[in-house]
Amino acid sequence: MSSKVLAFINFKGGVGKTATVVNIAATLAALHEKKVLIVDLDPQSNSSLWLMRPDRWREHVARGRRSTFQIFDDALQGKNRFDFDEALVKGVITWTGLTDLPRLHLLPAALELLRIEDRIHELRPSAIYQILDSALGMQFKQYNYVLLDCPPNLYSTTKTAIFSADSCIVPYVPDYLSLSGFQVLAEQVTEMREKFAPYLPGRRRPNIGALIVSHYRQTGNVFRLAVNELELSMAALREAGVLSEQTVLLQPYVRHCVRVAESTSEHLPVILYAPGSIGAQDYADLTQRFVDLFETKK
């Protein structure tokens, strides 16, 4: 299967990385009949907890074994205890008590991931980059899309995600603090591309493929001006060779929608929780553009 591995990154927190991962993944599975894997790499375990009830999640990831933590722990201990099939969660449980979205799979995260960053530097940098790709590269081939939900930083776990990705997606809230952060983020990713290059023979080096605007509000000038400044910045970064010509700002912008926030407490993607809501509609349109971007541009 030709799979697309995409890392959702931004070192700014709360910009909608998890919301985009969860809702694009669910929409791809529900409306486009795609096989999708979400890999939760954030110790906060937000995409896991969005899609699993906390009691079930706690039981599943007990001591971190059936979670992405085990992949990193194995790399540190030189062991092989991670079992993909055991760790995998298939579908989401709806109010009926049974699973739906059978094409949507999740590798959950565990709080134990918090301990990884302190220990990981025992390994050589090139060994760190390759952890995720070596552990999961083969499994990724079973899916049409693999979406990596990264923590709000650019430390080692995020680097492993960028290394194994075909492309990076940057969720973005239109304001100045995000703008200044984005310029730095783009430079950092470019730097990583250079560092990764020797270890990715014959493979395309990951780049920022798209930006996705989240928490958009249509009132007044505020957000339109901020998005315009983002576009100006993207043009400048392209000219400076920091962003590629292919990097796009995807539309539509996802608007703030209370149903999306609420769906986290119901442990369902918004397309199942409130399919008629503005949020579900914005994600449906965005996912369509997402498919257009990754399936027509070959």
Partner 1 sequence: MNYSDLAGRLAQIGERIARHSEKLEGEILGRSAGKLASQLDRFEEHLESHLASRKSRELFLENLLRSPASKRHLTIALLKRASREVGGKRLKSEDLAAAKREFIHLVHGAGKQDQAVQFLKEVFAEAVHVESGGKEKTLLQREFINLGQLLDEDFAKEISARSIAELRRVAAVNGIRFTDKTNRQRLTTLIRRYAQRAAFNVPAARVASSD
Ligand X SMILES: Nc1ncnc2c1ncn2[C@@H]1O[C@H](COP(=O)(O)OP(=O)(O)OP(=O)(O)O)[C@@H](O)[C@H]1O
Contacts with partner 1 by CB under 8 A lie at 27, 30-31, 33, 90-91, 93, 97-99, 176, 179, 183, 220-221, 224-229, 231-233, 235-237, 239-240, 251-252, 271, 275-277, 280-281, 283-285, 288-289, 291-292
* Residues 6 or more apart in contact with residue 32 via CB below 8 angstroms: 287, 291
Q: Is the peptide bond before 252 cis (omega within 30 degrees of 0)?
A: yes
E strand intervals along the chain: 4-8, 36-40, 89-93, 99-107, 145-149, 167-172, 208-213, 248-250
Point out which span in 24-32, 111-119, 196-204, 257-265 binds ligand X (CB under 6 A). 257-265
Tell me which of 110, 162, 257, 286 binds ligand X, using CB under 6 A.
Answer: 257
Contact stretch for Mg ion (CB under 5 A) within 42-50, 102-110, 213-221, 234-242: 42-50
CB-wise, 106 or 130, nearer to ligand X?
Answer: 106
**Residue in 212, 260, 280, 291 binding ligand X, rule: CB under 6 A:** 260
**Contact residue for ligand X among 61, 128, 254, 280 (CB under 6 A):** 254
Q: Is 147 exposed, middle or buried (0-12, 13-18, 19+ CB in 10 A)?
A: buried
How many CB atoms within 10 Å of residue 94?
Answer: 15
Q: How far is the CB of 147 from ligand X (least distance, A)?
A: 12
**Distance between CA atoms of 254 and 271, rounded to whole angstroms?**
14
Distance, in Å, from the CA atom of 22 to the CA atom of 38, rounded to the nearest integer, reads 8
Q: In this complex, which beta carbon is closest to Mg ion, that of residue 18 or of residue 160?
A: 18
Q: Is 168 helix (H, G, I), strand (E, B) or coil?
A: strand
By CB under 6 A, name the binding residues for ligand X: 13-19, 42, 44, 46, 152, 171, 214, 254, 256-257, 260-261, 264, 279
